[in-house]
């Protein structure tokens, strides 16, 4: 007889493994099925995020930043580093170790929470019966199981450019971009989005000449314009060669290089030859191999699993979360949806607030924001007040030797409610949390301005930006 579970989660990325753990905490019998394999063919739960996304990219960003600091920034601190050299195999090995620690951590958490883990690919085997949905799981698990309720958390894949399929040797998705075995002299990147900027930064710091070709005429269109402008200036100064308004033509592979033909913003025909080419032009939802058609699971026009605000699909008892459904493709968004769905299944009122999901780009300086940008407020016709404070005037930033960027507050002109906070600067990824909490509690800029912030700390720049709303900065 098939094994029977209250809840089966398909996919053990941040959406799936967190949903499985929360459902188990709420008393359901839970299984989680994940297909990801490590190099030995063993299980590697954690999805894109753990294996070829958030975690390995941040490991390489950290290592490459250390390398760059040892080469330049340490000197200013009075530390002379002689004979500096790059040990790329060790850097990649460390990254792989960090990934494995996270894979193992998830397997441990499954055991701790009594989640049954199956390594293999799950597919719907047919319509629901009295036992629930029958699901097949491929090798190595080779099982058929039944699920009263199913959570689809199958994530996303890198989008390829037509005619330039990923081979992960010359034409790289995020997977190949995180595992280049020798620093390419000339690295091309198509798409100046989050992956393009993070991966471009890693390889530039390690010595590549990086050229980024972006289709849109504006840089970081989703980011507050003032912050994006500042970022553009800083990245150019670092040597990232970012070209906007490019129309990509044919991409031709040679034995050891790739040639990209494109029209620049002026419409002039250009060709560029790269040792490696990263294509980072967005991601597509992954519903491959689910046999969604067998059960009539509805997808939307872009191939995402169609869900309502509560992550319910068109099938009773089938839910979907994370990158495979609408909304930002972020690990923490996937996690919040996973928790909310588990709680809804238990009759609770799980909630994901899309207005307070923080965004972070882990470049140097980091860029982080929550809420609306100034251009969105203008477009929405909202009367607002703005306040900014530069890290140049922050004592801790000066002590760190990292004074680039600013904090920017946007607040409602009448009520003073915080509508958006935008940061470019050191540790922006950590600083943004205060703004997220404030916005969740519908705080005013004045609330932040009146809270005592430790001195000297980068967070004082947040307080000062809130003070700047009423032109009351104390240190600028």
74-82, 212-220, 223-231, 402-410 -> range binding ligand NAI (CB under 6 A):
212-220
* Closest by CA position to 44, among listed 12, 21, 20: 12
Q: Which is nearer to ligand FAD, 176 or 184 (CB)?
A: 176
Helix axes 88-112, 14-25, angle to 10 degrees: 20
Q: Tell me the closest approach of the beta carbon of residue 270 to ligand NAI, in angstroms.
A: 13
* Residue 34 touches ligand NAI, criterion: CB under 6 A: no
235 binds, among ligand NAI, ligand FAD, none (CB under 5 to 8 A by kind): none
Residue closer to ligand FAD (CB basis): 10 or 128: 10
Interacting residue with ligand NAI among 190, 210, 311, 407 (CB under 6 A): 190
Question: Minimum distance between the CB of residue 305 and ligand NAI, rounded to whole angstroms?
Answer: 17
CB-based closest residue to ligand NAI = 193
Q: Which does 281 bind (CB under 5 to 8 A by kind): ligand NAI, ligand FAD, none?
A: ligand NAI
Residue 155 binding target from ligand FAD, ligand NAI, none, CB below 5 to 8 Å by type: ligand FAD
282 interacts with ligand NAI by CB under 6 A: yes
455 a catalytic residue:
yes
Instruction: Give the x-and-dash track for 112-151 against ligand NAI (CB under 6 A).
Output: ----------------------------------------
Q: How far is the CB of 224 from ligand NAI (least distance, A)?
A: 16
Q: What string of H, E and C letters represents the secondary structure of the chain? A: CCEEEEEEEECCCHHHHHHHHHHHHCCCCEEEEECCECCCCCECCCHHHHHHCHHHHHHHHHHHHHHHHHHHHHHHCCCCCCCCCCCHHHHHHHHHHHHHHHHHHHHHHHHHCCEEEEECCEEECCCCECCEEEEEECCCCCEEEEEEEEEECCCEEECCECCECCCCCCEECHHHHCCCCCCCCEEEEECCCHHHHHHHHHHHHCCCEEEEECCCCCCCCCCCHHHHHHHHHHHHHHCCEEECCCEEEEEEECCCCEEEEEECCCCCEEEEEECEEEECCCEEECCCCCCHHHHCCCECCCCCECCCCCCECCCCCEEECHHHCCCCCCHHHHHHHHHHHHHHHCCCCCCCCHHHCCEEECCCCEEEEEECCHHHHHHCCCCEEEEEEEHHHCHHHHHHCCCCCEEEEEEECCCCEEEEEEEEECCHHHHHHHHHHHHHCCCEHHHHHHCCCCCCCCHHHHHHHHHHCCCCCCCC
- Residues of this chain, 236-255, that bind ligand NAI according to CB under 6 A: 246, 248
Nearest Cα to Cα of residue 416 among 390, 450, 391: 450
Nearest approach in angstroms of CB 366 to ligand FAD is 11
Q: CA-CA-CA-CA torsion for 200, 204, 207, 210, nearest 10 degrees?
A: 70
Give least dist CB 178 to ligand NAI, A: 11
In the complex, the smallest distance separating the C-beta of residue 442 from ligand NAI, rounded to whole angstroms, is 25
Residue with smaller CB distance to ligand FAD, 217 or 303: 303
- Among positions 334-373, residues that touch ligand NAI (CB under 6 A) are 360-362
Residue 215 interface partner, choices ligand NAI, ligand FAD, none, CB cut-off 5-8 Å depending on type? ligand NAI
Smaller CB distance to ligand FAD: residue 122 or 468? 122
> Which residue is catalytic, options 72, 119, 332, 455?
455
Residues that bind ligand FAD (CB under 6 A): 10-16, 33-36, 47-49, 53-54, 57, 121-122, 153-156, 174, 195, 286, 289-290, 322-324, 329-332, 334, 362
Report the residue number, 283 or 408, with the smaller CB distance to ligand NAI. 283
Single out the residue of 41, 89, 140, 328 in contact with ligand NAI (rule: CB under 6 A): 328
Binding residue count for ligand NAI, defined by CB under 6 A: 25
Q: Are 84 and 53 in contact (CB under 8 A)?
A: no
196 scored as a contact of ligand NAI (CB under 6 A): yes
What is the distance between the alpha carbons of residues 263 and 245, in angstroms, rounded to a whole number?
8
Residue 196 touches which member of ligand NAI, ligand FAD, none, C-beta under 5-8 Å by kind? ligand NAI
Residues with catalytic annotation? 455
Interface positions with ligand NAI (CB under 6 A) = 161, 190-196, 198, 213-216, 246, 248, 280-283, 328-330, 360-362
């Amino acid at each position: 007889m098939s094994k029977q579970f209250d809840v089966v989660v398909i996919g053990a990325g941040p959406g799936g493994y967190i949903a499985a753990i929360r459902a188990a905490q709420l008393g359901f019998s839970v299984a989680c099925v994940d297909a990801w394999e490590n190099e030995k063919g063993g299980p590697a739960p954690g999805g894109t995020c753990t294996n070829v996304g958030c975690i390995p990219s941040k490991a390489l960003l950290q290592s490459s930043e250390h390398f760059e600091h040892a080469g330049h920034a340490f000197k200013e601190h009075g530390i002379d580093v002689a004979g500096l050299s790059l040990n790329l195999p060790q850097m990649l090995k460390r990254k792989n170790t960090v990934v494995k620690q996270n894979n193992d951590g998830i397997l441990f958490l499954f055991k701790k929470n009594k989640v049954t883990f199956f390594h293999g690919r799950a597919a719907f085997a047919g319509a629901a019966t009295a036992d629930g949905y029958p699901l097949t799981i491929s090798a190595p698990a080779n099982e058929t199981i039944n699920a009263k309720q199913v959570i689809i958390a199958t994530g996303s894949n890198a989008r390829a450019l037509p005619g330039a399929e990923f081979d992960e040797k010359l034409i790289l998705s995020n997977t190949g971009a995180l595992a280049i075995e020798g620093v390419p002299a000339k690295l091309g990147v198509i798409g100046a989005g989050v992956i393009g900027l993070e991966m471009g930064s890693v390889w530039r710091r390690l010595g590549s000449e990086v050229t980024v070709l972006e289709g849109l005429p504006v840089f970081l269109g989703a980011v507050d314009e003032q912050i994006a402008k500042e970022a553009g200036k800083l990245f150019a100064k670092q040597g990232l060669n970012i070209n906007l308004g490019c129309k990509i033509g044919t991409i031709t592979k040679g034995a050891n290089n790739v040639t990209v033909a494109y029209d620049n913003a002026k419409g002039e025909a250009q060709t560029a030859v790269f040792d490696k080419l990263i294509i980072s032009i967005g991601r597509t939802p992954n519903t491959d191999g689910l046999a969604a058609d067998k059960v009539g699971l509805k997808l939307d026009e872009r191939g995402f699993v169609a869900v309502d605000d509560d992550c319910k699909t068109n099938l009773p008892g089938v839910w979907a979360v994370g990158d495979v459904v609408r909304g930002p493709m972020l690990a923490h968004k996937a996690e919040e949806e996973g928790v909310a769905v588990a709680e809804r299944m238990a009759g609770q009122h799980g909630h994901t607030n899309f207005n307070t999901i923080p965004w972070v780009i882990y470049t140097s300086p980091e860029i982080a924001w929550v809420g609306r940008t100034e251009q969105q407020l203008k477009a929405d016709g909202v009367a607002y007040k703005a306040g900014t404070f530069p890290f140049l005037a922050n004592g801790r930033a000066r002590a760190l030797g990292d004074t680039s960027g600013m904090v920017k507050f946007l607040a409602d002109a009448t009520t003073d409610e915080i509508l958006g906070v935008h940061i470019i600067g050191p540790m922006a990824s950590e600083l943004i949390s205060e703004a997220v909490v404030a916005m969740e509690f519908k705080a005013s800029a004045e609330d932040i301005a009146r809270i005592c912030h430790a001195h000297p700390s980068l967070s004082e720049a947040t307080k000062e930006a809130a003070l700047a709303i009423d032109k009351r900065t104390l240190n600028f």
